[in-house]
Amino acid sequence: MGAAIMNILKLMPKAELHIHLDGSVRPDTIISLAKEEGLMLPVIDPNELRPYLHASEQCSSLTEYLSKFQLPLQCLQSAESLRRVAYELVEDAHRDHVKYMEIRFAPLLHMEKGLTVEEIISHVLAGTDEAERKLGTTTRLIIICLRSHPVNKNLKVVHAASAFIGKGVVGMDLAGDEVSYPPEIHRKVFEQAHDYGLPITIHAGEAADANNIDESIRHLHAARIGHGVRLQDDAALMQWVKDHHIVLEMCPSSNVQTKAVESWSDHPIKEYFDQGIRVTVNTDNLTVSGTTLTKEYERLMEIHDFSTAQFAEMNLYALQASFLENPEKLRLLNYFREEYETMGLLPK
């Protein structure tokens, strides 16, 4: 790939719809937070710490992938650590020319030292708001319910999140171990979120089959699907997803690591795109997946032959499907279109 193309991939304005806060903490920050909080790390050299935080392509399953969140989560139990990592994540994305991002996290995983769900959301917002003011990156939050958590606790999370509608929280998600906990367990949780007017995206068809995508759309009110790799197994559902403009948040590196796909060349993203399904490219987790949005684009270009114009198109899909409120969404769509036009990425 030529330097000029690599430069375009880096410089083009990008939208990121699917990125987890706890999976995107800088290794150096983990070391510094562990020191501040008096936590013992298995090793102190940042390079030696990598295997504890990063899932390589040799990772065997979603379960192994999820084990990499333990260490960062231990360091994310205080107001200041939440504010700091939220700020730094926007800073890292800003360096990658991400101009709009939806950051997601599960409040129930940050309560070990007594913070409430409301406090946790406020501290993350303090970090993203500060970053938005200083760097100009528009940032919104998606609140995650974990599949393994009881319905009554997840209902409380939804209730707490609803108080932040219009104040930075734009949606709800369901994440975690898809093999052991099918989505239907949480129908009531997402019924509640829907009633509050919170838009919904659900991790589905990643480690388990296409039925979970169907269930998430039909009964959990999902407007977007996290990953959706297994959609290819159900032709009728695929047609439905295409016709109803359900957007897929695909995360290729993560999908190879969790073994949602065997390899990069087996990834269905190009096939979906060519069939007219609205796919978007995302990182999932900067640290756990060891990637950036630009790196994802580079590999997709090398292996699946995407063009720079097709990346522009997928970014416009992402913005259109974002949970951002309207005047701001239109402003960003215009900004992206103008930039792409100047860069020669849009059909004249």
Known binding residues for substrate are: 20, 22, 176
Q: Does 224 bind ligand NOS (CB under 6 A)?
A: no
Sheet with 169-175: list strands edge to edge: 14-20, 98-105, 138-146, 169-175, 200-204, 224-227, 247-250, 279-281
**Binder of ligand NOS out of 96, 206, 214, 298 (CB under 6 A):** 206
To which H or E segment does residue 211 belong?
helix 211-219
Q: Which does 144 bind (CB under 5 to 8 A by kind): Zn ion, ligand NOS, none?
A: ligand NOS
To which H or E segment does residue 254 belong?
helix 252-257
Nearest to 200 by CA among 225, 179, 178, 165: 225
| Amino acid identity at 147 | R
Nearer to ligand NOS, 225 or 345 (CB): 225
CB atoms within 10 A of CB 316: 18
**Residues annotated within a binding site:** 18, 20, 22, 176, 203, 284
Q: Does 284 bind Zn ion (CB under 5 A)?
A: yes
Q: Does 249 bind Zn ion (CB under 5 A)?
A: no
Q: Does 23 bind ligand NOS (CB under 6 A)?
A: yes
Q: Which residue has the tokens 């990658």?
A: 96
**Binder of ligand NOS out of 192, 285, 308, 310 (CB under 6 A):** 285
Nearer to ligand NOS, 154 or 254 (CB): 254
**Binder of ligand NOS out of 14, 17, 20, 340 (CB under 6 A):** 20
Q: Which does 314 bind (CB under 5 to 8 A by kind): ligand NOS, Zn ion, none?
A: none
Q: Does 102 bind Zn ion (CB under 5 A)?
A: no
Q: Site mask, ligand NOS, residues 52-71, x = CB under 6 A?
A: ----------x---x--x--
Q: Does 268 bind ligand NOS (CB under 6 A)?
A: no
Nearest to 81 by CA among 46, 28, 127: 127
CB atoms within 10 A of CB 158: 23
Catalytic residue status for 206 = yes
**Binder of ligand NOS out of 16, 129, 214, 284 (CB under 6 A):** 284
To which H or E segment does residue 105 belong?
strand 98-105
Strand, helix or coil at 173? strand
Strand, helix or coil at 43? coil
Q: Site mask, ligand NOS, residues 94-133, x = CB under 6 A?
A: ----------xxx--x------------------------
* Cα 175–chain centre separation: 10
Rounded Cα gap, residues 154 and 169, in angstroms:
16
Nearest to 175 by CA among 85, 224, 106: 106
User: 255: which strand partners?
Assistant: none
**Binder of ligand NOS out of 59, 175, 222, 345 (CB under 6 A):** 175
Give least dist CB 221 to Zn ion, A.
18
Rounded Cα gap, residues 123 and 130, in angstroms:
11
**Binder of ligand NOS out of 203, 221, 230, 299 (CB under 6 A):** 203
Residue 263 exposed, middle or buried by CB count within 10 Å (0-12, 13-18, 19+): exposed
Give least dist CB 255 to ligand NOS, A.
8
Q: Which does 23 bind (CB under 5 to 8 A by kind): ligand NOS, Zn ion, none?
A: ligand NOS
CB atoms within 10 A of CB 68: 21
Whose CB is nearest to Zn ion? 284
| Amino acid identity at 159 | H
Catalytic residue among 132, 178, 206, 313: 206
Q: Does 141 bind ligand NOS (CB under 6 A)?
A: no
Give the residue numbers annotated as catalytic, written as ranges: 206
Residues that bind Zn ion in the complex, under the rule CB under 5 A: 284
Residues that bind ligand NOS in the complex, under the rule CB under 6 A: 20, 22-23, 62, 66, 69, 104-106, 109, 144, 175-176, 203, 206, 254, 284-285
